[in-house]
Chain A
Amino acid sequence: MIELQQLSKRYGDLCAPPSRKLAVDGISATIRPGVVTGFLGPNGAGKSTTMRMILGLDRPTSGAALVNGRPYVDSPAPLAEVGALLDAGAVDSSRSARNHLLALGATVGIGPRRVDEVLASVGLTEVAHKSAGSFSLGMGQRLGIAAALLADPAVLILDEPVNGLDLDGIQWIRALVTELAQEGRTLLLSSHLMSEMQLVADHLLIIGQGHILADTSMDDFIEHASGGGVVVASPDAGALAPLLAADGVTLTSTEAGRFEVHGLTADVIGDIAAGHGLRLHQLAPRAASLESAYLELTRDSVEFAAA
């Protein structure tokens, strides 16, 4: 369980004028165990800053981030409290993968047996003695995930975990993340790959310009996105269209005999058509994707949008 309480961060605390924009501006949220929480937001929205504050790497300007009820820095066993993958490149390139994990594990008394076990579970056994600097992006990513899993933590924070992984690796992460959540762990996962996020996340935390834009279940988020229109094709379109018109319903026609309805479900449209004896050749709900729903939500808060 991760609790964010009015969490704010302004960089350059000492000399920055108070007017300087907050990287994170008073966000409050609870990230629950047992589900995968997707953490989304445009570049510069404050995702990384928030993750760094949860891990005590950056000091909040105000507010607090609690892990299992206390600040991370007060945890008696930090690595066993939270496993984090923030920056897979943050390893000493001349040290072997195994020695890297041995050094990290040593801080909480984890020895070679567990290190070898974790190396095997991420598929790095064969390259365990190779220097981390010789690793490909995907192998480095696996090493970062191994470090996160090392002390069997109840909370996992993974920033772009599928970055650089091949299809095999992506499927592996997908299964791993789902399984870890089913075991009752708390998972906070960021990714810019919407299709990937749609597959694994149960809950969404979306931030933009330092504010929370949405804190909702994946299903609700997509369902309430306006992208979900219904495509209607009918030789009697001319007669059907006026019957559907009502407050909050929009019809857009793309070609003759074919239009898209927003504001009515396919069931209702079908019933109306049947009630008036009108023919339908196609009645297709267009499910909104996470991507379209997300783009709609963040359209106004994209900080570095293309000019």
Chain B
Amino acid sequence: MPTGPTTTAVKSTSRRTEPTTTTHRQTLGRAIRSEWIKLRTLRSTWIGMGAVVLLLVGLGAIAAAVSTGSVTTPEEGGGFGNGDPLSTVLTGADFAVLLVGVLGALAGAREYGSRMILATIAAVPRRWQVVVSKVIVLTGVVLPTALIGVLAAFGVGMGILSAGDSATVALTDDGVLRSVLGMAGYLTAIALMGLGLGILLRSVASSIGVLIGGVLVLPTLAGALLPASLDSVLKFLPSSAAAAFTTVRGAGDEVLGPTAGALVLAAWVAVTLGASVLVITRRDA
């Protein structure tokens, strides 16, 4: 238990010989460094990133083991993977999407909850720099983590499949490397959409709600409830656009091509982040 500070000495902070406004300029690089310090000094960042890797590898390994028959589920046969080795080993991706979405929303809305945003905006009043810095720092943490996670899940999962004499695919097979890297990109994109929504809505809870609703619930609901004629619209939803480049499957009318899918997802990210820049620069902090 710390006893209260007891100093009464006033240490002069005077260094008034030289105006500090010329020696201490605020730059975008420094704003990025500030955001990096903020992100890395939160334990939740590293717990979250560790959990993303664990989820991807762990669930992928379990799904692979189940599909080889070396582990049986109560309702024999299991629903994992549907026989596609790649989607089997990336089973954890759906949960990882939830997790990075939450981490992104936290990165955007957390400071509104603590009111730390006041200090942040006072220190970096060109507010677009705050958003850009958060985007760069979050990408710098989530993208490598997601890459490690999906590659490890791929390696571990394929190892288990191969040990169980099940069908496997190699990274060199057609479209496999693209799908694996695409999954890492998708996870990063979701984190960035969470960040944008967090800044827009200023609430962790509501930004997570909107993100999960838009990414996971809406496509399923809409696919089930809307007439098939609208499928051509549904393929532009973020999750459907991502499916176009994170899975290896025959192209059909209801799915975009890999490149188009990546561009559509990038557009979703750009719109969300662009809106957050517009809003944060216009409203009162």
A57 lies within 8 A of B285 (CB)? yes
Q: Select from chain A the residue with minimum beta-carbon distance to B18.
A: A152
**Size band of the interface chain A makes with B:** 35 or more
B13 lies within 8 A of A103 (CB)? no
A243 at the interface (CB under 8 A from B): no
B38 lies within 8 A of A72 (CB)? no
Query: How far, in angstroms, from A127 to B38 measured CA to CA in the complex?
Result: 19
B44 at the interface (CB under 8 A from A): yes
Q: With A121-B11, A123-B5 as known contacts, state yes or no: A153 contacts B44, CB within 8 Å.
A: no
Q: Select from chain A the residue with minimum beta-carbon distance to B8.
A: A172
Chain A 47-106 interface residues, beta-carbon cutoff 8 Å to B: 52, 55-59, 68, 72-73, 75-82, 84, 86-87, 89-96, 99, 102-104, 106
Interface readout for A144-180 with B: 1 if CB under 8 Å, 0 if not? Answer: 0001010111100000000000101101100110011
With a cutoff of 8 Å between Cβ atoms, the chain B residues found around residue A171 in the complex are 8
A-B contact count (CB 8 A): 172
With a cutoff of 8 Å between Cβ atoms, the chain A residues found around residue B115 in the complex are 87, 89-90
**Size band of the interface chain B makes with A:** 35 or more
B37 lies within 8 A of A79 (CB)? no
Interface readout for B31-56 with A: 1 if CB under 8 Å, 0 if not? Answer: 10111011001111000000000000
A118 at the interface (CB under 8 A from B): yes
Question: Which one of B9, B25, B31 has the highest number of Cβ atoms from chain A below 10 Å of its Cβ?
Answer: B25
Q: Select from chain B the residue with minimum beta-carbon distance to A119.
A: B5
With a cutoff of 8 Å between Cβ atoms, the chain A residues found around residue B7 in the complex are 120-123, 172
Interface residues of A (CB under 8 A from B): 11, 52, 55-59, 68, 72-73, 75-82, 84, 86-87, 89-96, 99, 102-104, 106-110, 117-118, 120-124, 126-127, 130, 136, 138-139, 142, 147, 149, 151-154, 166, 168-169, 171-172, 175-176, 179-180, 183-184
8 closest cross-chain pairs (CB), A and B = A123-B5, A123-B7, A90-B115, A80-B20, A108-B24, A121-B11, A106-B34, A99-B41
